[in-house]
Amino acid sequence: MTTATSSSPSAPTASIAVCLKWTAARDDAGADPDDDRFAGVSAADRAALEVALRLGERWGVPVTALAAGPAGAERTLRDAIAAGADRAVRLDMDADADSRDVAFELAQATAPTGGPCADLVLCGDYSLDRGSGSVPAFIAHHRSAAQALGLVSVDTDGPAADGVVRAVRRLDGGRRELLEVPVPGVLSVEGSVASLRRAPLRRALASRTAPIEVIRTPPAHHRGAPAIVTPYRPRARVMAAPAGDDVLARLRRLTDAGAAPARGETVELAPADAARRIVEALRDWGYLADHDR
């Protein structure tokens, strides 16, 4: 059993928030903007909403659905209200806002000093556009809260009095990790965790006119492009011009065509002597120049 740690003391959950990533249809792909196959939220976000609703019913606490995006994201929030969410909040941001900015605003909105204070935040582990799954980790960072990401199971039948959420995370080799996540905490779930319930007709009709709170966000904090990290490349090997009277001879010299195959050599030396031997070999092979002495 693994216990996730948090800098804040655990306490019974007072409110639950679920963050839904709305994705707009891409016009350059020739998609119909009204076609839900190319827009909306991921299966992981729908699973997060279902888990939040189950926990809210079990613990008797309200559930707030949040989405960051333009006015088109309100359709997703109304679907969440129809499914059972008690409150809906839209953070007015660009649809392609940076994940770090989205996470910062979501953390501020769910913090005790923000809007709909939430002790437990649930997210899907991927979205339909970038699919990086980085927003939940950023939210936990900004809130200094415990985090458990990529969960394959969440216990929705446990009590709220002990201030922990029990979950299962996937590990390599088919193994599973049992977690006890203290509240406040941030969870992200896979799409297979739960299937979103069908909204009853009464709530589906009421969601059409349900109020949605809109929070105006300041300009984005991160405008610079992320640094590009390339794989390590060793320095080019220094080689003398090949000797030869014609092109074919010089090519054979460059490619070692017809040369006897190299044989490995095993030597046992003291550390200092071994280091000198390595440097000499690198210099003989042309990887080090004389000025590298």
Cβ neighbours of residue 19 closer than 8 Å, sequence gap 6 or more: 45, 48, 66, 67, 68, 106, 121, 122, 123, 135, 136, 139
**At residue 8, does pLDDT exceed 50?**
no
CATH number, position 112: 3.40.50.620
243 compared with 17, residue with greater pLDDT:
17
DSSP string, 251-278: HHHHHTTTPPPP--------HHHHHHHH
| Averaged pLDDT score across all residues of the chain | 82
Q: Are residues 126 and 65 in the same domain?
A: yes
- Residue 136 binned pLDDT confidence (cut-offs 50, 70, 90): very high
- For residue 136, the tally of other CB atoms under 10 A from its CB is 25
Q: Which of 81-95, 139-153, 247-261, 262-276 has the lowest mean pLDDT?
A: 247-261
- For residue 197, the tally of other CB atoms under 10 A from its CB is 14
Q: What is the pLDDT of residues 203-257, one digit of tens each?
A: 999 999 999 999 988 776 554 555 666 776 776 666 677 777 888 888 887 787 7
Distance CA 171, CA 292 (A): 46
Q: Are residues 107 and 208 in the same domain?
A: yes
Q: Are residues 17 and 144 in the same domain?
A: yes
155 is a domain residue: yes
Q: Which of 22-36, 89-103, 191-205 has the lowest mean pLDDT?
A: 22-36
Residue where a domain stops, chosen among 174, 196, 216: 216
Q: So what's the pLDDT on residue 231? A: 75
The H-or-E segment that residue 245 falls in is none
For the chain, how many structural domains are there in total?
2
Q: So what's the pLDDT on residue 152? A: 93
- Say which amino acid occupies 20: L
Q: Are residues 140 and 279 in the same domain?
A: no
Range(s) of the domain holding residue 278: 247-292
Q: How far is CA 9 from CA 15, 51, 101, 118, in A?
A: 16, 23, 27, 15
Q: Are residues 73 and 208 in the same domain?
A: yes
pTM of the entire predicted model: 0.68
